[in-house]
Structure 1
Amino acid sequence: MLIQADRLWTGGALARDRLLRVDDGRVAAIAAGGDATPDLRVPLLAPALTDLQVNGGGGVMVNSDPSPDALRAIAAAHRALGTGAILPTVITDTANVIEAAAEAAIAVRDEPGQLGLHVEGPHLNVARKGTHDPDRIRPLDERTVRVVERLRAHGVAVKITLAPEVSDLQLVARLAATGAVVSAGHSAATAEETRAALAAGVSCFTHLYNAMPPMTSRAPGILGVALNSDAFAGIIVDGIHVDWDMVRIALRARPRRGLTFAVSDAMATVGGPDHFTLYGQTIAVRDGALVNAEGSLAGAHVDMATSLRNLVRHVGLKEEEALAMCTDIPRACLGLPPQQIGAGTALADLVAFDDDHGRLEIA
């Protein structure tokens, strides 16, 4: 089978006019396009996308079922939508649930699509809790540090979101020393508190704007420091959590490219039914948004392929900038290199897009 790719995203760059020979479901060779007649032409071909904030998918939530089979089911649901690598996310819950999720992540650590575990909470600021259960929010403690140390000892990548103003910075430094990505979020930290957290080892910010107070001329707060910092930052680009203009402002405010990446913050409805249960409450899709019984946003109903399209179509990014935000930058946040497409790459590990950046089926 011959696939003509007008543009091929590989190794962090766009190659143009490439012909891929595919044998037995894997790329056998890549050459410059010539006179050969392809079996399939696609405008854009890229490695399947990467998402560092996936609470659920395919009707399954990590919190509701912190098991290896659940992590596999969530990864499969996102893979069907063009996301090949995920960081399953367990949000604020009891220590037992978080520890079970950690054991599940250890069990699947070598399986395709599994990047590790994102622990979002429970060490958050109650005033910026979002949909997290306030009764399960608690200060950062030794028990969580030991969970992260265990994950890292097994070679599992970890991202942990916490509010620095309610966290012991000595414990934050211990988390960072394990190689975990410590991310500030669900926080009302002042600028001074945020800078202190960066000095202690915080290297990322979770879903910019959301669950953070707005910055003002005299109080930049966590958001202002985040935008000005050299730390990584995730942002939800569904057009609901953050207005398109605010996405543009955030990207222009960063000191350089390569620091801000898209996250889905996907819940069980992505690739699944239009509702699910979290903390005993029904969360449902209403006009494209996920809301809880109080009418508050509760995660997102978007996938990474749609996020990429949004970045180009609504935010106005160049194609290569949007691709980087959905592939290489989140990988860099975890210390991973850009993905290469070459001989041996499975067709199932690629995602194709049309001229309008809608996802195409190629397998």
Structure 2
Amino acid sequence: MPSFAIVDARIFDGNIWLDDHALIVEGGRVSAIVPKSALGAGIERRAAGGALIVPGFIDLQVNGGGGVMFDGDCGVEGLHKMCSAHARFGTTGLLPTLITDTREATAASIASGIEAARLGMPGFLGLHLEGPHLSLARKGAHDPSLIRPMDDDDIKALVSARAELPALMVTLAPENVTTDQVRVLVDAGIRVSLGHTDTTCETALAYAQAGATLVTHLFNAMSPLAHREPGVVGAALESGNLWAGIIADGVHVDPVAIGAALRGKRGPARIFAVTDAMSTIGTDLKSFTLNGRTIERRNGRLTLADGTLAGADIDMIGTLSYLHGTVQLPLEEALRMVGLYPAQAIGLDAAKGWLGAGSDADFVILDNDLNVVSTWIGGQAVHQAR
């Protein structure tokens, strides 16, 4: 694949802005970012067509998109539709996320993910299995009849899946999984996230000691931060080893709470953005089904008949705009929350979440109003706005 240079836009490399520079792409990677004046005469130059070049967005919690839900019937074609739908909104890498389902549906979903990995599907980073080993008290929209304790067969299936996937993340609750089971999963290279749990702060920190490194959608479906029992929220903010996803859509978490959490988070682990998106993204769907139950789409909310939130109706560029415009984060930090930090959270930051010599050529070109002009994965334009 011949090298080329993207020019005529400000470049954010994940750390600083570079003006009058060119992004040189070769073989699906960034070979260098150099002053435009240093470009050789023989290299192909491509005008960006926008104002900003930023690292591609990475979403670790994507239940669906393009009219498709990730479930036992999704298949490889469905995964491709999901990745393509989210690429329209700047997402260059995602973890399709399976909501609590049957053993059979889980096995079929894992098989689809393994095949997507084998094919090198653009945008596919691995899988996120959210359940079924959760807490009934904090089930959210998960089907309570399918929630259950983790057993030896589950562990064998997960360890086997991890061996064939580039990344595997599992959301679980201490109520249905032991610390010994967490250690087995972590030793196999699986990223363990605490979520949908009513456990105490002390217990959550003990699970972090056992190897859990993430928390799923901070504040939602977990024991809250109180003055005598800090809950999972308190553990997530206190532990420097727990990365925490958060849904920044104006529905799931108040912007004041987002700001307070960002100021209160102990590092080096950070809070990063997830969409928790459903099949509605990139479509005009008004409703869809989840485990046989109807989810209604109204005014930016997805809910069951009883009003329970069921995922989110937002994409990553919308999330970036919300973090920058409503939460009032500096654009640089908002960009890290949708790119660098999620890459770091699952150990993909050697090549993703930033731009520079040796990084993957996964980037988004934006206009000055933060609209997506084009999305690039591995140096290929996978979406271009009309």
TM-score, length-normalised on structure 1? 0.91
Q: Secondary structure at the match of 2:198?
A: coil
Q: Identify if the C-alpha distance between structure 1 residues 29 and 249 changes in structure 2 by more than 3 Å, giving closer, same or farther.
A: closer
Counterpart residue number, 2:87? 79
2: CA distance, partners of 1:355 / 1:312 = 13
Alpha-carbon distance in structure 1 between the residues aligned to 2:101 and 2:23: 46
Taking a change above 3 Å as real, the CA distance of residues 193 and 313 of structure 1, as seen in their structure-2 partners, is same
User: Residue 67 in 1 paired to residue 82 in 2?
Assistant: no
Of 17, 25, 33, which residue of structure 2 is paired with 1:14? 17
The question of 1:274 aligning with 2:286 is answered yes
Listed as ranges, the matches of 1:1-363 within 5 Å are 3-6=7-10, 8-10=11-13, 12-20=15-23, 30-33=33-36, 39-40=47-48, 42-63=50-71, 65-109=73-117, 110-230=120-240, 231-256=242-267, 259-272=270-283, 273-337=285-349, 338-339=351-352, 340-341=354-355, 349-361=362-374, 363=384
Q: Deviations over 1:30-58 (max 9, x none)?
A: 54245999855533211321100000000
For 1:142 and 1:25, locate their aligned partners in 2 and report how far apart those are by CA, in whole Å. 40
Aligned residue type for 2:262: L
| Cα distance in structure 1, aligned partners of 2:360 and 2:346 | 23
Residue 207 of structure 1: how far off its partner (Å): 0.2
8 Å Cα contact 2:14-2:54 kept in structure 1: no
C-alpha contact (below 8 Å) 1:151/1:157 kept by paired residues: no
Shift of 1:101: 1.0
2-structure distance, mates of 1:35, 1:202 = 46
After superposition, the CA RMSD in angstroms is: 2.7
Give the aligned residue type for 2:207: A
Deviates more, 1:190-199 or 1:129-138: 190-199
Contact 1:161 1:184 in 2 (8 A): yes
Q: Deviations over 1:304-331 (max 9, x none)?
A: 1111111111111112211111111111
Change (3 A) 1:80 1:358: closer
Structure 1: distance between partners of 2:229 and 2:32: 55
CA distance in 2, matches of 1:13, 1:134: 46
Secondary structure (helix, strand or coil) at the match of 2:171 reads strand
Change (3 A) 1:180 1:346: closer
Amino acid at match of 1:18: H
| Contact 1:10/1:341 (<8 A) preserved | yes
Secondary structure of 1:113's partner? coil
Distance 2:224 2:14 in 1: 36
CA distance in 2, matches of 1:291, 1:199: 35
Structure 1 gap segments, 5+ residues each: none
Q: For residue 3 of structure 1, what is the amino acid of its counterpart?
A: V
Q: CA deviation at 1:147?
A: 1.8
Offset of residue 294 of structure 1: 1.4
Q: Structure 2 unaligned segments of length 5 or more: list them.
A: 40-44, 376-383
Percent identical: 42
CA contact (8 A) 2:72 2:104 kept: no
Residue correspondences, number: 361
SS at match of 2:98: strand
Q: Name the SS for the 1:42 alignment partner.
A: coil
Bigger mean CA deviation after superposition, 14-23 or 318-327: 14-23
Whole-angstrom distance in 2 between the partners of 1:176 and 1:244: 33
CA deviation string 1:148-197 (max 9, x = no partner): 11122224311000111332221111111111110000010111211221
* Distance across 1 between alignment mates of 2:131 and 2:261: 24
Task: Report if the CA contact (8 A) 2:71-2:98 is conserved.
Answer: yes
> 2: CA distance between counterparts of 1:306 and 1:244?
14
Check the 8 A contact 1:102/1:147 in 2, yes or no. no
Distance 1:144 1:137, change over 3 A: same
Q: Which stretch shows the higher mean deviation, 11-20 or 122-131?
A: 11-20
Asked if the contact 2:66–2:282 (Cα under 8 Å) also holds between the matched residues in 1, the reply is yes
Report the Cα distance in structure 1 between the residues aligned to 2:30 and 2:202, rounded to whole angstroms.
Answer: 51
TM-aligned CA distance change 1:2 to 1:215, over 3 Å: closer
Does structure 1 retain, via aligned residues, the 8 Å contact 2:65–2:85? Answer: yes
TM-score (norm 2): 0.86
| Residues 170 and 343 of structure 1: CA distance in aligned 2, closer, same or farther (over 3 Å) | closer
